[in-house]
Amino acid sequence: MNLKQESNTPIYIQIAEWIENEIIADQLLENGKVFSQYQLAEMFNINPATAGKGLAILLENGILYKKRGLGMFVQEGSKELILSKRHNEKLSNLAKEIVEEAKRLFVSDSELIELIKKIQREG
């Protein structure tokens, strides 16, 4: 993954999201060791403190846990937690944006639902 330096999203948030994506994709498994802040810094050519901040967010949110002297590991149930969080936050926000835009374009609820069904069939 390439971090988007020009993005409005801070690099440490992008790091946290990248790790979450790796967990969702089963590239990082429950109770599996996660990259250290120094490994992440080297991988993405960023400051180790920035990488550490991304890890700290995941630690605070219960996605990762720390084993003293060994590093950070993926918490059991973290994949479900991430999926639930994203469903509640991201998907809800996207749905609100779509509904608002549909209203501005005078698209009826039934038309919008049919459009969504069509996209699902094609996807």
For the cut 80, the answer to whether the pLDDT of residue 28 exceeds it is yes
Average the pLDDT over 78-94 and give the result. Answer: 90
Give every CB contact of residue 74 below 8 A, 6+ residues apart in sequence. Answer: 23, 28, 29, 30, 31, 32, 34, 63, 64
pTM of the model: 0.75
- Tokens representing 110? 């039934």
Q: Higher pLDDT residue, 110 or 7?
A: 110
Measuring CA to CA, how many Å separate 71 from each of 25, 35, 38? 21, 8, 11
Residues 112 and 98 sit within 8 Å (Cβ to Cβ): yes
Average the pLDDT over 97-101 and give the result. Answer: 93
Supply the mean pLDDT for the chain: 93
pLDDT tens digits for range 32-81: 999 999 999 999 999 999 999 999 999 999 999 999 999 999 999 999 99
89: amino acid identity, one letter: E
Return the pLDDT at 2.
67
Longest dimension (CA), the chain: 59
Length of the chain measured in residues: 123
Count CB atoms within 10 A of the CB of residue 74: 21
Return the pLDDT at 92.
87
Return the pLDDT at 55.
98
